[in-house]
């Protein structure tokens, strides 16, 4: 005789994480690059500058993917800089996923990044 049982289902792997967003970027490769993230307010806007330490978790030849605690919006322009300054770039937000307490972001480089680790 069969018995009924219930089990908690696991959330889809990567759901709500940077890995989940990376599924939409086929060229994304895992990287672990600690950076300082900054955004300046546009003149006349209510946006305040911020800085936050985060880690670039995935990269493509043109984008970086990471999570942060600051709510960002599509087209926000950010500056990402690593500790030795060898990576100091501007990128525009191209994808955002909001989750309680964090924002998962994909941002596309503005301009050329000659020393980027992920090459086409």
Q: Give me the number of domains the chain comprises.
A: 1
Could you say which DSSP state residue 19 is in? H
Average pLDDT over residues 57-65: 96
- Residue 97 located in a structural domain: yes
Range of the domain at 105: 33-46+62-113
Among 61, 42, 51, smallest CA distance to 81 is for 51
End-to-end Cα, the chain, rounded Å: 58
Q: pLDDT tens digits for 80-89?
A: 999 888 889 9
Provide the pLDDT confidence category of residue 22 given band limits of 50, 70 and 90: very high
- Residue 9 located in a structural domain: no
- Residue 11 located in a structural domain: no
d(CA 21, CA 12): 12
Please name the helix (run of DSSP H) or strand (run of DSSP E) that holds residue 103, with its range, or none: strand 102-109
Please give the C-alpha separations between residue 8 and each of 14, 92, 100, in angstroms, as whole numbers: 17, 39, 21
> What's the burial of 104, exposed, middle or buried (CB within 10 Å: 0-12/13-18/19+)?
buried
- Residue 118 located in a structural domain: no
- Residue 84 located in a structural domain: yes
For residue 30, pLDDT beyond 50: yes
**Percent of all residues in the chain with a pLDDT value above 90, rounded to a whole number:** 55
What is the average pLDDT score of the chain?
82
- Residue 8 located in a structural domain: no
Q: Beta partners for 37?
A: 52, 80
């Amino acid at each position: 005789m069969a018995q009924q049982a219930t089990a908690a289902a696991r959330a889809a792997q990567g759901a709500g994480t940077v890995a989940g967003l990376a599924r939409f970027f086929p060229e994304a490769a895992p990287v672990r690059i600690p950076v300082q993230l900054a955004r300046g307010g546009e003149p006349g806007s209510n946006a305040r500058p911020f800085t936050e330490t985060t880690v670039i978790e995935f990269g493509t030849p043109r984008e970086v993917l990471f999570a942060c605690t600051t709510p960002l919006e599509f087209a926000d322009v950010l500056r990402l800089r690593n500790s030795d300054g060898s990576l100091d770039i501007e990128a525009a937000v191209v994808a955002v996923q909001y989750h309680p307490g964090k924002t998962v972001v994909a941002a596309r480089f503005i301009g050329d990044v000659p020393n980027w680790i992920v090459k086409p």
